Structure 1
């Protein structure tokens, strides 16, 4: 227990947060309208009252809009908060300074919410005994020569997952379930699957208590984590020892890198946990509400909400832009992450007046920062107020979650006719959206499922959502799922329906892995995990959301199928091109890079409004890579498709979703036909492709 009081010097304002210097710890925080500022020091995480309150002198501890001091000899491990007094003029300036509120340092790298009471923080007045607080720690972590992996995005396969839910199920068998350490124990599973990156749902510290009252009344908390309050701090609840969250996160990153797996963070820069006018005061609202949030110009009491979460971060204010870019740099330089996926990224494109900017400072500063030039940046290119920028997101290097790909492939696989021209375009990397702007297939992150919406098994099992367990009377979550239940709604024992569902699931994964662009799969889809039809499990920290490890062996055929498709993609550079297909031969090769077909060669049926089938032949990028022939039959009946003759090669079956697991490893399947004679006119061969199925052939040298 700390007994002494520490001497204070002026300190400096050039670095936000708490940083060790030669004589002690320098503290610095931004607040334009604060007239007085206090630094509260606590000796323990759970201490109710500070052991020292340092009142900053505005004559020596205040530079421009920054408050700062140096506490001489302060030991590592000390906890602290800020307390501001000053202007509270919500109508005109937008300032919301409350002298009773203990404020969390926005630059904090280690935080605690052990005492946190969200309801108390929503009311005016003192909340020192129930506030979140930050800890100042020396940073002497040994990275052991670890570096971000810099895996090219076009060669990547992304695995979106919830860090806690991945090992929280009792069947996980890990020593520390639901933690960074727990994920380390499951790295062999990820390596066997073959993915190149994990994309982690929010791990920046978030408010678990941020849910609607009716949801909280059922005992639910914020599970997904889209309620960030600290952009530099790992979430403490994912740590076995919360005070070591920063180093436990680093241990996880280092272990993943050793296995050749990169780390992409889902970041929520579009809003914070402070909500709107009725929300809590945590940090930004009590220090710089008028700077950090979009406020209505005519009445500064009102928050502009482009996110559906009560507030919108004013990302393109110069101070906020600098703050957020510094956060990204911190996670790359100090935490070694490999990339970021930006939630509701179109909200970041909005200027201070709320209108979209093509040259939005935050987006271009992120794209052009030299330290981020090999860091993957991925946008969810829409927001909750109708701004939809898929195919038109500002910048050049930004990849995008391709929502158009998702919606189209869902419709195609459930059997909707007349989609063949667009299906071909999406399979080929969505050149209609990207090529005209000088972008590449790598700008398209293709997906069929993600955390938000039905997962894969529910996509083929439900046509309507079942979200009653969330406490919002099934009003939450999307009603536009573009799903098909294969004839029976929800769970069934009908063997024919179950076979069809498994085949449809294989079709989705097959199409995804055969598409140009960057594939992303949702954790648990490889073992056909169900969420009971709930398409918005943001508050379901329970077995409905957790990865059920007891299903890995029973669902091994699906796991092997997904693993096999990832392996096929990784051994065929023709599936991971960094340029768009042209239909012309690659230099040095005789075949066009792609040729489109239907049931007959060179007749894809672009103008047939009832067409539900497509085939294509994909050339290798080098003479050593076997060409591929892919057939997609989404008709309800089997069909016969012509197979192109390739002199000197014979076609071997590689994928057939009518079978389980559906993937035939190299060398395990017999050739379909005798070798094609050369020279001479080769005979036309056909293969029968089952109803609602997908077939891939490889042309092996004879």
Structure 2
């Protein structure tokens, strides 16, 4: 608007819905703030405008209802950027109030956000500058979904692939038109289809502060890459959009979702509701601190200027306050209803099980609201069932439908594959779906998200190449990242040209993934593990938006054998319902069968070494779960020496089959490392030699 234009007229508006809503006669704005005494709405022509074209001062008698401030700006067009300023008491120690009428705030309900002239460290060094905050956009939510709906794949059929939207296509080798974006990811869908995964789990894609890093890290040219620093919970991250200045956030994200759904691939969002980018008492005021600090954050009872920190990030969201719980559920339902996502993974979800004073709750309202929401009923909900302050709830996370990242599974499988002895009993439990964690409280194997690697820690190749972390590139003197990696470098630390060590590392990588996809429960793998992506020993690349943290697409050709192995491994799992049961293995016949669902063995049939503290071998025979399925015989040898394993004779098992065929052997080179049914070799019934540190799988066949 030019200086000569007449300002937009305003009407009182209404308090519901919150955010900016395009209507026939203009845009209704509403924002929650229980203790604010005044409010201003600032309107900008664009993300780069130096000054607002109109500032509207709200009248407490006209534009204030209950805890909401609201107005309608007549004929205001979509695409307008806006911020709020809230006035009120600044009494952080006594009441937790941090109102400052000079600070422009982002609308927490904004559907699109641009970071504009936001400079986190400039504010911390020189103070508040005029119009230096991120800005929200007015969005007209119009989109043609062309019949798309969220997928409803049964959980037992799920194969999750965790990836970073930016890092997946940012490398120059990606060859996409728009690298590092939602649209760039669309171009890689054929790769995902060929791999065989059913869902992508996207690391945080809600608007986050890339500048939320220690000052020394920022000064070194690094930034918050992973995105666990959200402040806009309804807005896709502008950094993953091609034209965010035009307000295309929602539709670019929707284009990606629609394209993935057409390929029968679901979308799970990694969401961060345990903390925000506003940090602790020295952190900036961007949104919640300026509208309701005492509502949205857990504060110290005696000194409310101090933030309770159960997340390691400076603050903890007061998730079980009624207003905050509603905000969280509202956001989740929006992403399902309007953005068609298929589920959520909740970062440090146990922090959401705490009350305002930080005490764990037996029945946290927000977690039950998520579980029982009709809108979220078909969405997959996954908890990282611990927080940064020691609350560990794997196997006991509140609710029943919640799936959990199974940290116990990860640790057991890592130890077993690196050669730790005496684990066969626990390995059997993990392969069976972790009944010790889930069966007693009426859960199922599908409550367990099994994984051996994820974004947080070593990649698969680094897990078999390093004994310790190497995080100096993070500019924190190697203090960051876990020191407890349960890894083994196979004899040499890091890069090497030793062919024997390299061959052993590849075998170990195959062993880890083989066990993952042979386990009951839901497998999750880290993007790039299928082509042995390395981070050169850095187990915490949270600030590395560069080649260290990106997917290097040259590896697809360089490590084609490993990629072929993973594709075959996923295909093996998909053709065997016996690996995807909804009920725990019992060792008893199931309905419609007269043979046990599983029989456990050691190197000798029916003699597993449950109590042998030195044992590193285990075998099992899985009965078919479907009449069209073949039985499986699985042999594991994680010891240093080859072993002969006795094989069960198929006629004795009362199956109409006459031979075993080799489906998988991690000690062999392609194509015998994994073989499709038509390409398999027959195995005699004589004891079979299973090489050291290898996994062998046989499928039953008839003449």
Q: Select 1:43's aligned residue among 45, 50, 64.
A: 45
1:698 lines up with 2:699 in the alignment: yes
Residue 32 of structure 1, CA deviation = 1.3
The residue aligned with 2:677 is: 666
Residue 585 of structure 1, CA deviation = 1.1
SS of residue in 1 equivalent to 2:635: strand
- Structure 1 residue runs of 5 or longer lacking an equivalent are 674-683
**Mapping of residues 292-691 of structure 1, within 5 Å:** 292-647=296-651, 648-649=656-657, 650-661=659-670, 662-673=673-684, 685-691=686-692
1:235 lines up with 2:257 in the alignment: no
User: Which piece of structure 1 moves more, 316-325 or 43-52?
Assistant: 43-52
Residue 554 of structure 1, CA deviation = 1.4
Residue 117 of structure 1, CA deviation = 1.1
The residue aligned with 2:148 is: 146
What TM-score, normalized to structure 1? 0.98
The residue aligned with 2:13 is: 11
Could you say what the CA RMSD is over the residues aligned between the two structures, in angstroms?
1.0
Question: How far does the alpha carbon of each residue in 1:317-360 deviate from its partner, in whole angstroms, 9 at most, with x for none?
Answer: 00000001000000000000000000000000001121111210
The residue aligned with 1:96 is: 98
Residue 489 of structure 1, CA deviation = 0.5
Q: Would the aligned equivalents of 1:269 and 1:313 in 2 still touch at CA under 8 Å?
A: yes
Q: 1:368 to 1:340 in 2, by over 3 A?
A: same
The residue aligned with 1:200 is: 202
Measured in 1, the distance between the counterparts of 2:217 and 2:405 equals 29
Question: How far does the alpha carbon of each residue in 1:267-305 deviate from its partner, in whole angstroms, 9 at most, with x for none?
Answer: 000000000010011010011000000000100000000
Q: Select 1:106's aligned residue among 105, 108, 130.
A: 108
The residue aligned with 1:210 is: 212
Q: Select 1:159's aligned residue among 158, 161, 168.
A: 161
Question: How far does the alpha carbon of each residue in 1:641-676 deviate from its partner, in whole angstroms, 9 at most, with x for none?
Answer: 001011132100000001123101111022113xxx
Measured in 2, the distance between the counterparts of 1:124 and 1:382 equals 38
Residue 123 of structure 1, CA deviation = 7.0
Q: Would the aligned equivalents of 1:6 and 1:73 in 2 still touch at CA under 8 Å?
A: yes
Measured in 1, the distance between the counterparts of 2:613 and 2:128 equals 67
Residue 127 of structure 1, CA deviation = 3.3
User: Which piece of structure 1 moves more, 583-592 or 25-34?
Assistant: 583-592
Measured in 1, the distance between the counterparts of 2:460 and 2:54 equals 55
Measured in 1, the distance between the counterparts of 2:562 and 2:280 equals 45
Residue 586 of structure 1, CA deviation = 1.7
Measured in 1, the distance between the counterparts of 2:122 and 2:231 equals 16
SS of residue in 2 equivalent to 1:413: helix
Question: How far does the alpha carbon of each residue in 1:585-607 deviate from its partner, in whole angstroms, 9 at most, with x for none?
Answer: 12222321000000000000101
Residue 623 of structure 1, CA deviation = 2.6
Residue 622 of structure 1, CA deviation = 2.2
Residue 505 of structure 1, CA deviation = 0.2
Measured in 1, the distance between the counterparts of 2:40 and 2:124 equals 21
**Mapping of residues 172-187 of structure 1, within 5 Å:** 172-187=174-189
User: Which piece of structure 1 moves more, 545-554 or 444-453?
Assistant: 545-554
Measured in 2, the distance between the counterparts of 1:89 and 1:114 equals 30
SS of residue in 2 equivalent to 1:325: helix
Q: Would the aligned equivalents of 2:121 and 2:215 in 1 still touch at CA under 8 Å?
A: no
The residue aligned with 2:85 is: 83
Measured in 2, the distance between the counterparts of 1:428 and 1:79 equals 53
Residue 128 of structure 1, CA deviation = 3.5
SS of residue in 2 equivalent to 1:667: helix
- Structure 2 residue runs of 5 or longer lacking an equivalent are none
Measured in 2, the distance between the counterparts of 1:240 and 1:622 equals 47
Measured in 2, the distance between the counterparts of 1:225 and 1:200 equals 11
Measured in 2, the distance between the counterparts of 1:230 and 1:222 equals 15
Q: Would the aligned equivalents of 1:119 and 1:280 in 2 still touch at CA under 8 Å?
A: no
Measured in 2, the distance between the counterparts of 1:139 and 1:634 equals 55
Q: Would the aligned equivalents of 1:338 and 1:375 in 2 still touch at CA under 8 Å?
A: yes
Residue 121 of structure 1, CA deviation = 4.3
SS of residue in 1 equivalent to 2:687: strand
Q: Would the aligned equivalents of 1:102 and 1:126 in 2 still touch at CA under 8 Å?
A: no
Question: How far does the alpha carbon of each residue in 1:190-209 deviate from its partner, in whole angstroms, 9 at most, with x for none?
Answer: 00000000000000000000
Measured in 2, the distance between the counterparts of 1:280 and 1:471 equals 22
Q: Would the aligned equivalents of 1:121 and 1:281 in 2 still touch at CA under 8 Å?
A: no
SS of residue in 1 equivalent to 2:136: strand
SS of residue in 1 equivalent to 2:104: coil
Measured in 1, the distance between the counterparts of 2:680 and 2:80 equals 64
Measured in 1, the distance between the counterparts of 2:609 and 2:261 equals 46
Measured in 2, the distance between the counterparts of 1:426 and 1:226 equals 29
Measured in 2, the distance between the counterparts of 1:609 and 1:194 equals 38
Q: Would the aligned equivalents of 1:572 and 1:625 in 2 still touch at CA under 8 Å?
A: yes
Measured in 2, the distance between the counterparts of 1:436 and 1:627 equals 28
Measured in 2, the distance between the counterparts of 1:422 and 1:656 equals 23
Q: Would the aligned equivalents of 2:33 and 2:291 in 1 still touch at CA under 8 Å?
A: yes
Q: Would the aligned equivalents of 2:622 and 2:633 in 1 still touch at CA under 8 Å?
A: yes
Q: Would the aligned equivalents of 1:120 and 1:130 in 2 still touch at CA under 8 Å?
A: no
Measured in 2, the distance between the counterparts of 1:35 and 1:122 equals 26
Residue 154 of structure 1, CA deviation = 1.2
